[in-house]
Amino acid sequence: MKALLLTEYEQMIVTDVPEPEVGPADVLVRVEACGICGSDIHGFDGSTGRRIPPLVMGHEAAGVVEAVGEQVTGFAAGDRVTFDSMVSCGECHFCRRGHANLCDNRRVLGVSCGEYRRHGAFAELIAVPQHIVYKLPDGLPSEHAALIEAVSVAVHAANVTPVELGDTALVVGSGMIGLLTLQAIRAAGANTVIAVDVNQKRLDVARQLGADVTLNANEVDVPQRVAELTSGRGADVALEVVGATGTIQTAIAAVRKGGNVTLVGNVSPTIELPLQSVVTREITLRGTCGCNGEYPACIAMMESGAIKVAPLITQQIPLSEGPAWFKRLHAGDPDQMKVVVRPQE
């Protein structure tokens, strides 16, 4: 089968690779769409250490069932499906307590980190265990369904954030996940959603997707402006979707006393924390990782229009254009939000 193979850092080719083996509990999926994630771009240059070549990357995907293992029930050839990016074991302490996203033995599709190598979905076919596979409604296009993995990150972040009806929510970072997060926190009960970024085009999309207020951090003092919008108190909750010192400090400074900051982004392995502000204002900081069973909710919300992804898809490309597009995205293209690879085209 054809696949987009990372042969060495910053070098990709489209080549023939062996078809994946299908275990007794596996579902073989013919991939119709797979989104290029920011983590794939960082994997492309080796900066994360989690995409060691040779590797087929890609973990945001949807397709059609080609075949199933002998133990599989509930799925058959021809079913339209998507799947989680993380393979949990189902047996460890955290899985048994309902926290599969914290699984001790988790394996992420399209990742090679020294401990394991799991080829991903920038390929014509991929085999995944049935317990991470979900059927798709007929009305949800494959290119939209490929973004369910990203949507699930946003929905999980909203789920762990203690937002209440009528709250003001601040979303710092209006990239792909940030734009999904602002929709998710609105659906969770926020009455007013404030989006922050330094890219005006992204802020324009944020407004299109339901942000009540957009703030360009290059032009305004974000905490001061948020205070002005909230009678001097600050936002009730903030979701930080970048993962850098400056943006995390902005989120902390812009929430009210006793407020909650949910940390979604993780670009930087360490940050400088304004400890006295957190302690004396009794701010709660909460990390969030991946998703934990939110796929059915994400599918329903996308089907109903509560979360929209169409405005985020800026390009759809065949597998053959993958190497050129990875170089383009790695070099930086501010006009692109989500590029979706179509391996069958």
Mean pLDDT per 10-residue section of the chain, whose length is 345 residues: 97 97 97 96 91 97 98 97 96 96 96 94 98 96 97 98 97 96 98 97 96 98 98 98 97 98 92 97 97 96 96 96 97 92 95
pTM of the complete model? 0.95
72 occurs within a structural domain:
yes
CA atoms within 13 A on the CB side of 137: 14
Preceding omega of 54 cis (within 30 degrees of 0): yes
CB 195 within 8 A of CB 182: yes
CB 252 within 8 A of CB 276: no
Do 250 and 181 belong to one domain?
yes
Distance of CA 13 to the CA centre of its chain: 25
Residue bearing tokens 């979360």: 307
304 occurs within a structural domain:
no
53 occurs within a structural domain:
yes
Six token digits for residue 13: 């080719």
103: domain CATH number is 3.90.180.10
What is residue 49's predicted lDDT score, i.e. its pLDDT?
Answer: 86
Distances (CA, A) of 77 to 80, 81, 85, 134, 216: 9, 10, 21, 14, 48
271 occurs within a structural domain:
yes
Number of domains present in the structure of the chain: 2
What burial letters (b/e) apply to 173-189, b meaning 16+ CB within 10 Å? bbbbbbbbbbbbbbbbe
Do 195 and 62 belong to one domain?
no
**In terms of residue numbers, what domain contains 260?**
157-287
Q: What is the chain's length? A: 345
CB 80 within 8 A of CB 62: yes
What is residue 48's predicted lDDT score, i.e. its pLDDT?
Answer: 83
Distance of CA 199 to the CA centre of its chain: 19
299 occurs within a structural domain:
no
75 occurs within a structural domain:
yes
Do 192 and 314 belong to one domain?
no
Do 172 and 123 belong to one domain?
no
